[in-house]
Chain A
Amino acid sequence: GIQVEQSPPDLILQEGANSTLRCNFSDSVNNLQWFHQNPWGQLINLFYIPSGTKQNGRLSATTVATERYSLLYISSSQTTDSGVYFCAVSQGGTASKLTFGTGTRLQVTL
């Protein structure tokens, strides 16, 4: 099956700093999503981004499907950004059979 690797595995930032999270996948995909799992375990869908660039407030994401990677940018980080960030991919166009990546654990400190 498809392999999804995320880097870095762990990241500690001071509040206000910027960061880039990376997601590499081993085969072509038609569906790619980014999620944030907060410290209480709730998963929030951040982006559906099989290709191109999207922005939502302080977050933006870029997927280069031909090179099999996606990037999540967090600007001016806040303590509420802490948690685990997952990318998930599938080779169908729908959200079925999403394979989740290894995750990046982010801690934002004051």
Chain B
Amino acid sequence: SAVISQKPSRDICQRGTSLTIQCQVDSQVTMMFWYRQQPGQSLTLIATANQGSEATYESGFVIDKFPISRPNLTFSTLTVSNMSPEDSSIYLCSAATNEKLFFGSGTQLSVL
């Protein structure tokens, strides 16, 4: 398994600003993922972050809005840029070990 630390746990931001979410894994992992969970909804994959290459974004998500860094095998960041109230969600970092997926505790973002 993997233990994943994510911060901040929550934040309230003004529209037009940016927030960077950090994710630290307790072991080296090849694949890390960022998900979004809107209130009362299921999880949607934003992008896959592999070390040494650019992140791969899912349909509906773009790099300019959600830039991702993956500087090494234990760390990744997701930035939510130029925020609007529609970006209010829980953002979840995850990592895969073998075939199983593990999650951080999430970042609850509210945009005013």
Contact = CB atoms under 8 A, between A and B. Distances in A.
A45 B96 CA distance: 11
Contacts of A88: 43, 101
B76 interface: no
Given A100-B43, A101-B42, A95 B103 contact: no
A95 B42 contact: no
Interface residues of B, number: 20
A43 interface: yes
B92 A95 contact: no
Contacts, number: 53
B48 interface: yes
Give the interface size bracket for A toward B: 20 to 34
Contacts of B106: 41-43
Given A41-B90, A41-B108, A48 B45 contact: no
A102 interface: yes
What's the dominant secondary structure at chain B's contact region? strand
Interface string B88-112: 0010100010011111011010000
A94 B45 CA distance: 15
What's the dominant secondary structure at chain A's contact region? loop
B96 A95 contact: yes
Given A41-B106, A41-B108, A98 B90 contact: no
B99 A95 contact: yes
B48 A95 contact: no
Interface in A58-109: 86, 88, 93-103
Interface of A: 31, 33, 35, 41-43, 45, 48, 50, 86, 88, 93-103
Interface of B: 1, 31, 33, 42-45, 48, 58, 90, 92, 96, 99-103, 105-106, 108
Q: Which 4 A-B pairs have the closest CB atoms?
A: A95-B96, A43-B103, A95-B101, A100-B43
